[in-house]
Each structure stands twice: as structure tokens, then as C-alpha cells.
Structure 1
């Protein structure tokens, strides 16, 4: 069996500040040095295996997925911020809640939300000042958050909803920053856990804000129930959805799932749109081709059908998701001992899959930075379907049945 190379602990410690700011260069350096799989011990008693091997990834996330669960980094560290929803659950509870929520994201349901999305997009575009340099991430972040908020809630029947949503956005962004600190610099846990030391940069402060967000969501849910209105938004669908035994989601679970939709539904979209804008700006010829797609739209069709009839624009989006996957890593823990590709996978070992590095391997993709401008995008897309994990793995798929990177 093949021995997995280990990054020296001193190397990790020496680059800890760089890792906190941006872990990707550290990942790249070690994949180049040690190959497609290596391991590292970020603190005593913790060993993490990194891989960008497509066969190991498919084995862990698809072929033998029942032997692998999300690690405590997701179920506990992330879970304490967003509760126990689809992003943080494992096993049967995950499957039951996914099955419960999924109908709200079928194509027919999404088609009903398209008008709302269209209104929000036009509102945000009107706010852009064309005579000055603008941070596109800020634009797309606000846009994505408002799309999620208006798809979830009918603003007409909830008092002061605009203010509540604004506060939810602020809390979400602050909690995400704290979570990143916890995950990237775990040796500072002693500092972040003590509010009297770290103040507003502490875990207790962030969790208090999350509790405030949960209270806001409970108020919104109770207001909806009291109003007796059924506007057909996502909240309405979630309130009326039932498990196989006929029971409904309790309020705590409902709040957890809404928090997941806010966090997973807006940040990943904002990241993807920002990188798409960057890639298009670097390749002006692709902008013209994308405009040709848009100009051919049949305005008599639904907005969903118009978008589905824009193949080049779709390819640009897929290439963006491959080059800059918003969820660039995921992890799993082996429930039992296993093996794959001459590598022994020990029981309870942690495996971190790097989609970012897998999608940039030259032996799989060639000169990846040139893909967006090549004429043979259809061939590249077929290769993406065969190799890219966001096309292979059901457990990593979006709840709608489509896929996320």
C-alpha cells in the first residue's frame, strides 16, 4: 500500500498567518510537492488527509458514501452557528430533511420565483454607478442575499421586514467571519472562546448574534402563522411540507433550514457571480458571445425557458464554477476502515477533498486558464461531466437536484 506523505508540523506553523488569510496557496504548494494526496497535523491529536485525486474523491463521496460522514468541523463547528440543517446533518436525518425540502426547489417551484429574482436584479443594477469604480462582490453579495430573502418571505405581510432582513444580513456576515477564524487558526481557540479577551471578535459574541438572528426568524414565522396568509413563497412551502409520517418540521428545525438557505444560498452565489464577472472582463470576446446568446432570447417564453436556451452563457457559468468553486473544499470522516487506489483509509480518519485543486490539475484539464476562450467548450464540458465532482456526487448536489461545485 502507498504511504501518504506528511507535511512537517513546523512548516504548517511557520505559514499559519498566510493560511489564515488565504489557505489556497498553501494547499497548492503541498499538492505540487507531495502529489494528489498528503496529510497534515494542524494540532496534537488531529490528522487531516488532503486529496485532489478524482478517484479517491468519487470513492468517498459517491461509490462508498455510506461509510463517510461529515466531520465535526461541519456538524459541530459550523453547526453551532447555523444549527442542524442540511449542511450539518448526516445519515437518515439528512435524507429525511432533504426529501422534505426538495419539492420547494423543483424546476416548477423555481420558475415561480423567477419574477422575484428578476425584480431584485433590476433594482440592484439600477443602483450601480457607472461613472466610478465599483466592487462587484458587494453588488452581487447584496443581490444574492435579497434574492434569497424575497424568495423566502413575502415582504408585504411582515412588519418591518426590510429592517429585519438587513439585520439578518449583518449577523450572517459577522458570524461567517468568526467561523473562518475558528477553522483556519484552531490554535487560537483559547483566545476566541473568551469574550473578556477578544470582545466582539469572540465566539460568545458571534453566537449571541446568531441567537438574535434565530429570534428574528421565529418572529417572522409566528407572524406568518398568525396572518393566515399563504403567499406561496419558500416559507409557505416549508410550513406546509410534511415528513413521510405526516408530521411537520418543528420551529427549531425550520429556523435551522432557513439559516442554511441564507448562508449557503447567498454567499456561494455571490462568489460565483463575482468570479464570472472577473473572467468575462479578462476575456472581452466571451462577453460578446454571451450577449449574442441573450439577444436571441424569445421574450414570449418564460424567463426560465429563456435562460435554458442560452448554451454559451451556461458554459461560461459552468467554467466559472470549475475554476472558482464557491465551496472549494469539503470533508468526510471514515466510519470504518477502507481502501482506494492503493491507499489505506483508516477508521475515523478525516479526509478533506479539494475541488479547487482537482479542477485545476493540468493532467486533467490542460492549460486551465485558457478554457473559457477556447472554441471547443462542448468537449471541455463533456470532460467536466466525466471528471468534475460537482457532476458526479449526489451528496454534494444542490437540494434542487441540480448541482453545486
Structure 2
């Protein structure tokens, strides 16, 4: 007999209620409800829209008002813990099995990157291409200062670098013709600014049932990911065939018939070499799918973050031309145009500028963790809850989520002093003692996080940053093309600049570039 439509609707209601009930009951059950914090500005969005602006400044304003342990609201008014207590942060980051990426974050990111490392519980030549392109543009304008979008150029350049260093693949992103190869086209679709979350996308993230509803954005991302993974599979097969042939024939160098350099040191080549090693136990070998799954993650994480960091560094140097001049003088004292890694690491003021940039402008402003079990998070100093009771630990329930605001930790006046929000590279000649309490994997800042889940590519990022600054500062002087007050931040995975008066034009950093004067 046919089932009455009312029964169908009732069953659908029960299914939705079953999926939504944990989310709806969470505010009533979490001990975070006893923490002080700001009231929600919107029943659905909570503070999400505010957090996607200048997250560090927002968090600091809350901390100044409510203390170093507080709660705020995100989607559907769900509570989130926010703390700048370094002992608490150390506990959360070092107990990575107990504090994992939230399920919603996994769903959102896996739809873009796939399930690569984010979910597992020729460089100098390219730099010179960017330099030469800007020099060519200046020449076409008779040697005068030329306005360029620094962010766009750096995004293209760092994409070429990670393509070559990671996979021996040339995106040709700096091609003046503007033509895109298939892999770059796929990546551009994945990183399209139109990915800003809509209410439906966010509901799909929280309630699995709604993920069955197809959206145009999901279709485009899925098509782009398939294209990227297909190209990755072709790269993998080609390199592995050449490496196996070289291993069997004891040959070295280039296998001419495949045109693959088996002596290459890109990540994919090294990974395949390790994977086919005869002394590697079968249980430790990665499958083709596991290798290919890393490709979107490395392409995105490997170029977006560095491009953002260098962009913000050039912004800071354009605001304070004395710092820019001092750094350029140090770089020009190096006798070669192609310094080694050791030579770059031996430049003290460049190192100070790098550290100050990553302190004040971390490419990723915040990240999230979810408690996998009930826990007591220890604190350096107690706080007073909304019942007036003094607490020396944070009580947290399994499922509760924590926002780790990297930008706020890096700018704590309690650690860095009253000038914490100013760009002062010289502070790194004698950093404050309190900075050692920040549980970061590098440099007494939290920009690369800490603990077992810290950024695995931070060393590559540091060298790339220094090489970029070396090449660009020796060749050019940089001046902002807009008032500095017109520049603000937008955080969508990576923190990028937005010009307030040109907000509809997306992320950009317009600057005047001119040849550096001797």
C-alpha cells in the first residue's frame, strides 16, 4: 500500500530532528555557558562575519573586556571557547588526540582539498621572472613608478614555486599572456572568492542530511578537484615509471623517452622514491590514492600563505620607509644575486623583519579544535565565571569547540608591551622573556601553531619568504597606492588585504613599484 504523504513528512521531520538535536541541545549542556563573553549579534551567524575581518583586533577587544578566558558565538549561536592563556593553549595543542579539528571544519575543507594531510590525525629562476615582469612594466612607463597589484603577482609566483618544488610541475602562472594550463584553472576555481559561505553551505556543514542538496558551487569545486586529481595521477604515473626504469637499469639523470628528471628533488619525486624503496615494509607504503590526495593540500597551503605573508610585509615596509631602506641596505651588501640558504639565514635584519611580519600578520589568523572527551584545561592564572566563582581550570565537555586566535596571541600586550600592535623588527634583537611561553613550533609566535599538528612546511615557507624579499627589495622600492587606513583584512582560511573603498573588487594590495635607487 502507498505510504501517506503525511507519514513521509513525519519521518523526514524525525530524521532531521535526530541529526539536528545534538546541535540544538549543545548550548544547554556545555559548561562553556558559564564563561563571560559578548552577546551574539545574530541568531544564525553569531560572530562569524566579524571574525572574518580583523580577527586579532576583535579578539583583543573581547579579552580586554571579558578577560583571558571567554566564550563567543558562531553558527546557530553555538558557544566557542577563546583563551589567550598560554598554559591552556599548550595543553590543547600538545594533546592532539584529545583536541582535533572539528567535524564541521573537516567537512568544509575536505570538500575543497580532499582528504590529504590536513585530515590525517627551481626557485630562484621563478623569483627572477616576477622581478623581470615588474621591471618590464616599469620600462613601458618610461622608468616611472608603476602601479601593480602586489598580491596578485605574489600569488602567481608562489604557485609556480610550489608547483616546481612540490611536484616538478610548471603552472606557468607568471605567463604574461594570461593563458592558464588545466591544473591552474582547476586550482583557481577551488580558490574562487565566490566560495564565501552562504547559509545553505553552512547548514550542510552542520547537518549531514542537507549535504544531499546539490549546489552550483559544490558542482564546480567537485569538477575542479576531479581535474586536479586526474592530472596528479598522470604526474604520479609518469614519474614512477621513469624512476622504476632508472632503478632497474642503474641509470642516472634524465630518462629521455619520458622526459622526466629522476634525479629531481621535488616532493613528489622524493615521495615516490621512498615509496618504491625495496627495504620499505609493504605496510608502510602509500597507495596511489593516498599520494594523490596530498596534491590539492600542498598546492593551496604551499602558495597562498607565503603570498599573503610577503604581501603584508611589503605593506608594512611601504608604511615605514626607514625600515624598508635599512633592510635593502643589508640585502645589497650580499655580493651574489642568487644566495644560498645559509647566506639568507645569516642576514640578521631580514630575519627580524620575517619574525615581525609573521607575528603581526600571521597568514592564518585563527584555527579551531574540538574536545574529543570531557576535560579540565589547566591555566596559568584563574578567571571568574558568570556565577562569580573563581576557577583555576576550564571545564570542557566532549564536543565543545575551541577557537585558537593566532593573531590575538601574537599581539598580546601582556607579552609584547604597549607597542604590540606596531611593526618593529628591532624588538627581535632582544625579544621579551614572556614570548618563550607561547607554544609555537617556531620563533616564539603561534603563526605555525605547535604540538604534533604544527605546520609541517614551515621551514620551506621561511626560506621562500626570505628569497622573495631578497630578490624584490634589492630591485624595487614599494609605496602604497592607497592610504594605509584604507587597507583592511579579510580572513577566509588565509588572511588577505581588502581595500575598503574598493571592497567589491576583492582581495588586492595596489602599490607603486619603482626601481630601487642607489
Please, what TM-score do these two structures have when normalized by structure 1? 0.79
Q: Where does 1:2-17 land on structure 2 (aligned, <5 Å)?
A: 3-11=34-42, 13=44
- 2:92 corresponds in structure 1 to 60
Deviations 1:312-331 (A, max 9, x none): 10110111011111122122
Residue range with higher mean Cα deviation, 30-39 or 325-334: 30-39
Number of the residue aligned with 2:302: 265
Matches within 5 A, 1:95-114: none
Deviation by residue 1:78-104 (Cα, 9 ceiling, x = unmatched) = 1232122221221xxxxxxxxxxxxxx
Cα shift at 1:47 = 3.4
Q: 1:364 and 2:400 equivalent?
A: no
- Unpaired stretches in structure 1, ≥5 consecutive residues: 91-115
Instruction: Find 2:186's aligned residue among 171, 175, 200.
Output: 171
Q: Report the counterpart of residue 440 of structure 2 in structure 1.
A: 389
Q: 1:155 to 1:13 in 2, by over 3 A?
A: closer
Deviations 1:162-209 (A, max 9, x none): 9997433333343234655269972586999755xx53xx22322222
SS in 2 for 1:351: strand
Structure 2 Cα separation of the partners of residues 394 and 402 of structure 1: 16
**Aligned CA-pair RMSD:** 3.6
Between 206-215 and 142-151, the greater mean CA deviation after superposition:
206-215
Counterpart of 1:323 (choices 360, 368, 387) is 360
State the Cα distance separating 1:121 from its structure 2 match: 0.3
When residues 125 and 239 of structure 1 are mapped into structure 2, their CA distance, relative to the original with a 3 A threshold, is same
Contact 1:331 1:350 in 2 (8 A): yes
Q: 2:116 aligns with which of 76, 85, 103?
A: 85
Pairing 1:204–2:219 present? yes
**CA offset at residue 149 of structure 1?**
0.6
C-alpha distance in 1 between matches for 2:148 and 2:411: 29
How many Å separate the matches in 2 of 1:155 and 1:257? 14
1:322–1:359 contact (8 Å) kept in structure 2: yes
Normalised by the size of structure 2, how large is the TM-score? 0.63
Gaps of 5+ in 2: 1-30, 139-144, 244-259, 380-392, 445-449, 463-518
2:346 is aligned with 1:314: no
- Whether 1:39 aligns to 2:71 is yes
Q: Distance in 1 between matches of 2:242 and 2:410?
A: 48
CA separation in 1, counterparts of 2:46 and 2:78?
18
Residue 122 (structure 1) shift: 0.3
- In structure 1, the partner of 2:272 is 239
* Paired position in structure 2 for 1:119: 125
Question: Aligned-pair distance for 1:253?
Answer: 1.1
Displacement of 1:49 in angstroms is: 1.9
Greater helix fraction, Structure 1 or Structure 2: 1
How many pairs were matched up? 371
Does the CA contact (< 8 Å) of 2:111 and 2:221 recur in 1?
A: no
The residue correspondences of 1:125-274 to structure 2 (distance < 5 A) are 125-128=131-134, 129-130=137-138, 131-154=145-168, 166-176=181-191, 177=193, 180-181=196-197, 186-187=202-203, 194-195=213-214, 199=216, 202-228=217-243, 229=260, 230-232=262-264, 233-242=266-275, 245-246=281-282, 247-274=284-311
SS at match of 1:325: coil
Q: Residues 11 and 81 from structure 1, CA distance in 2 versus in 1: closer, same or farther, beyond 3 angstroms?
A: closer
Write the distance in 2 (CA, Å) between the matches of 1:184 and 1:26. 26
Aligned equivalent of 1:332: 369
Equivalents in 1 of 2:150, 2:200: separation in Å?
Answer: 26
Shift of 1:6: 4.5
Per-residue deviation, 1:265: 0.6
After superposition, what is the alpha-carbon deviation per residue over 1:127-173, rounded to whole angstroms, capped at 9, x for unaligned? 113342111111110111000011134359x9xxx999743333334
How many angstroms does 1:277 deviate by?
0.6
Query: If you compute each CA radius of gyration, which structure gives the higher value, 1 or 2?
Result: 2
Contact 2:43/2:76 (8 A) holds in 1: no
Change (3 A) 1:304 1:322: same
Contact 2:357 2:423 in 1 (8 A): no
